[in-house]
Structure 1
């Protein structure tokens, strides 16, 4: 069936010729340009502080799902406010999802904490922790995607109404 010349016996069109790999440029092999690359990819000190306080798992000032946040962006739309639906913790690639109802339409936006477009994150209302109490209403889930199906609950959370 298959011969040594043709590793794929069915069609000659599926055979992909080997790509001649090009070696990296000589300056990169010597370490030139590495710091510039790291400065572009590593979090700035402000973003690092956000990651270690607001988006940490155990920090006392962490943001919990159900909190109402305002994110100030460097491009249009300049601000977006909404209920924190969930946090995806992946080190420098940590992101979070905010949801708001605008003109009777549910709008969700995902923001990456380390993105250069995110200028600031303001906490409008905190969700309560395991103790509950005065901090706010306690959410019992890590991801609040069930709020997509019940806009009344979401508006009640963002309005600060208990119910």
Structure 2
């Protein structure tokens, strides 16, 4: 009984704890390291959060167009127009894939320009992305696949999809 109390006393001490599988090994407590002064004052944390958290406009886009619970969500096979600000342009094409990862959500749009297939990947949280417009939903509401990469090999299917005609 006395040995049991000694063992309990030793386990409760903060100096050294015995390793449960060896009687000679001891586990020393980790020394306390104070956080750096700028982090204590909040100088490092707030600029980081303001850069990484989505703006209210981007949160609205994420909620309306990319949330699975939204009624207006985008489906692969939709025809969309994306407006980008850094090089003022719009890109219209077929939505091939959506990658839902919260603030890192991205999507791939494909179009055929001058007989050459052009794909662009857009990140929803990018400051360059200004607007996403849905021009046309896929036929029958949605496609049978989540990723429409097979359209890369068959441009006639993609053009039929853009014309809202049934293919196969």
Q: CA deviation at 1:70?
A: 0.5
**5+ residue gaps, structure 1:** 1-22
Verify: 1:160 aligned to 2:164, yes or no.
yes
For these two proteins, the number of residue pairs brought into alignment is 134
* Match in the other structure for 1:41: 52
Q: Deviations over 1:18-72 (max 9, x none)?
A: xxxxx98631243224222211110011110111111012311100000001100
Which stretches of structure 1, 4 residues or more, deviate above 3 A after TM superposition? none
Whole-angstrom distance in 2 between the partners of 1:76 and 1:30: 38
Unaligned runs of 5+ in 2: 1-33
TM-score normalised by the chain length of structure 2: 0.74
Compute the RMSD of aligned alpha carbons. 1.8
Is the 2:138–2:164 Cα contact (8 Å) retained in structure 1?
no
Task: For 2:35 and 2:129, locate their aligned partners in 1 and report how far apart those are by CA, in whole Å.
Answer: 33
What is the CA deviation profile of residues 98-138 of structure 1, one whole-angstrom value per residue up to 9, with x for unaligned ones? Answer: 0000111101000000000100001111125xxx3xxx5x3
| Structure 1 residue 99 corresponds to structure 2 residue 110 | yes
Moved more, 74-83 or 140-149: 74-83
Distance (whole Å) between structure 1 residues aligned to residue 99 and residue 163 of structure 2:
25
- Give TM-score, length-normalised by structure 1: 0.76
Question: How many Å separate the matches in 1 of 2:132 and 2:53?
Answer: 19
Which is greater in Rg? 2
Q: Supply the distance in 2 between the matched residues of 1:159 and 1:77 (Cα, whole angstroms).
A: 27
| 1:149 paired residue number | 153
Provide the rounded CA distance (Å) in 2 between the counterparts of 1:124 and 1:25: 51
Equivalent of 2:90 in 76, 79, 93: 79
